[in-house]
Structure formats: C-alpha cells, structure tokens
Amino acid sequence: MPTRKVKFDFYTFNCPTDQNALVKALENEINLRKEGDVNNIELFGFVCRIWEIEKTSEGFYICNVEKINVLDEANIGDLQAERMTVATNPDQGPLFDTAFLYNPKNEVVVLQRNSRLGLGYKSFVSYLSKLTKKEDCDLEIIIDPKVIVKLDKMDMVKKIEYSVSNPTNLDFAKEQNRGMNGDLELAKKLLGSSLNVVIGSQRGSHLSLDEAKKKVKSLLGFSENMSNIIVRGQIDEDMESINLIKHKVTYEEKFKLKKEEKLTVVKVVETLPKAYKFHEVNLNRMYINKS
C-alpha cells in the first residue's frame, strides 16, 4: 500500500496597516462564488485564484488556491505509453494546487508545504499581498511553545548564531531591523552566497540577557530565510543549545493509498482542520489565552 506524505506549516498573519485585511479579502472571495465569479490574480507570470473556499461553523476559512501556467501546454500519459496533449488554448495551462486554512480568532495560517509546484512560502506571501491589496502583509512562522518557554527561562546567554541563505537578496529585510540590514549589506558588498553570524561572549562573561532575547525574537521574523537560529545559554544549572528553526510548528499527514487510489486535492483540503486541531490547544494558549 503506497504512502504519500503531505506537510503543513503554521504561521501568524501580520498586516500593520489593516490586520483585518485577510478576512475582508476572503469574505469577498465568498461573495464572488455566490455570483459565479472568480478572482484571477497575476503573479510571476502565472495566474492564481482561490478555486474553493469554505467558512466553517468554527469560523475557519478553508481554501484551495490554483496556480495556472498559461504559457505552457500540459501533457498526460498512461502506463501503456500513450500520451495526450491538453491545455493547448491560449487561456489554458497546467495548474497546481495549494491548500490553506485561516483562523481569524488567533490569526493563524496553516499552509500546505508545496514549494516545487504550487505556491511556496514566498510566492504565497506575494499572493496574499495582491489578494488583500496590502503590501505590508506578512507571515511569521510559529515556534514550538515549549522551545519559547526554554528561551524565556534562560538566565544567561553565552552565544547567538544564525545563518542566512542568499544574503544578497535584501527583499525580505525590514527597514526597522537595522542590525539585520547591517549584516546583510556587508554580505552584499562581499558578494557572499551565505552569511553566518556569531555573537558570543568571552570566557567568564555573558551577553546582555534582555538584549540577547530581544535579538533572537526579532530574527524569527526572518526565519523563512534562515537555516539556523541557535541560542546557547544556561537554564538552571545546565548549559543548553536551542536551534529555534528546527522546532517550528508543523504537521505531517501520511495518506495510505489503496490500489489505483490517487491523492486528490479534496483529501488534502479535508486534512487542514485536522492539522490545525492537532496544535489547537497550544495555538490558543499562545495567541488567545495568553494569560
């Protein structure tokens, strides 16, 4: 019995100019469906649109986004070596799906990990910007709350280390984070393909605790561009190293397919509430019941 794995990543939606922008956009999509219309959005030479959308009784928005490539034809084949070309008209092309869930009560987004064919993290953020018509909207990854608790419990920080891939691309750096911009500008001048920054203390000393924790939490806003964010410090009597990137909140569903059964878009979309509910208690504790 073959098994197909689908992974989901968890984020919080942020839009400083209008935190309600995504709800407004999704409600507009629902109204468009009632009118029998769709909202085609051009993105990087493709056309993207929400094809299916549902608002559940719990207030979740469950959506499937199609990415259509109208520049290429599509081919399908079978095991008997037959081949058929489809999508030959100018307004047709192969399409790829990306499922996501949004809970406006805690502003959590659950996104199907689909960087190769569908919308990956960066292209999905760009899509949300066009969908909401807000250039400042963004997604921030959610770190396992147990790891955040560990970070908060550190009473001494000895070292902070982080690695950035493709540092010559400054698009993801925020102007308000001058420290990050300074690091990236240096890498850009040197034409570096990667950047590894280590902030450490001399033997017998330690970093400023409040400033160190503040720096680490600010780096989480850029975490999709990083391969490591490591903090080494003391918790009670023990020295520990924590790699925050390796502890981001995710969910994996293993689909066991019967003979001749396929992994369908419907199966993936129906898994979204299950993925969310797997982490629901912690998500509510982090973003709703903060006390």
Q: Flag whether the pTM goes above 0.75.
A: yes
Axis-axis angle for helices 145-153, 280-287 (nearest 10):
50
Same domain, 135 and 165: no
Closest CA to 155 of 271, 229, 235: 235
d(CA 226, CA 60): 30
Query: Percent of the chain scored above 70 by pLDDT?
Result: 85
SS3 of 68, please? Answer: strand
Q: Count CA atoms closer than 13 A to 36's CA, side-chain side.
A: 0
Same domain, 178 and 129: no
Same domain, 100 and 214: no
What would the mean pLDDT of 205-212 be, rounded to a whole number?
A: 83
| pLDDT of 281 higher than 80 | yes
Same domain, 76 and 115: yes
Same domain, 210 and 90: no
Same domain, 234 and 258: no
What residues have CB less than 8 Å from 103, skipping those under 6 apart? 58, 59, 60, 61, 276, 283
Same domain, 189 and 266: no
Number of structural domains in the chain: 2
The rounded Cα 239 to chain-centroid distance in angstroms is 31
pLDDT tens digits, 237-272 = 888 898 888 888 999 999 988 888 888 899 999 999
Same domain, 26 and 104: yes
Q: Domain span at residue 176?
A: 145-247
Same domain, 209 and 231: yes
Same domain, 186 and 72: no
Same domain, 111 and 237: no
pLDDT tens digits, 19-62 = 999 999 999 999 999 999 999 999 988 999 999 999 999 999 99
d(CA 63, CA 269): 7
Same domain, 243 and 277: no
The predicted pLDDT at position 286 comes to: 81
Angle at 105 between CA 244 and CA 280, to 5 degrees: 50
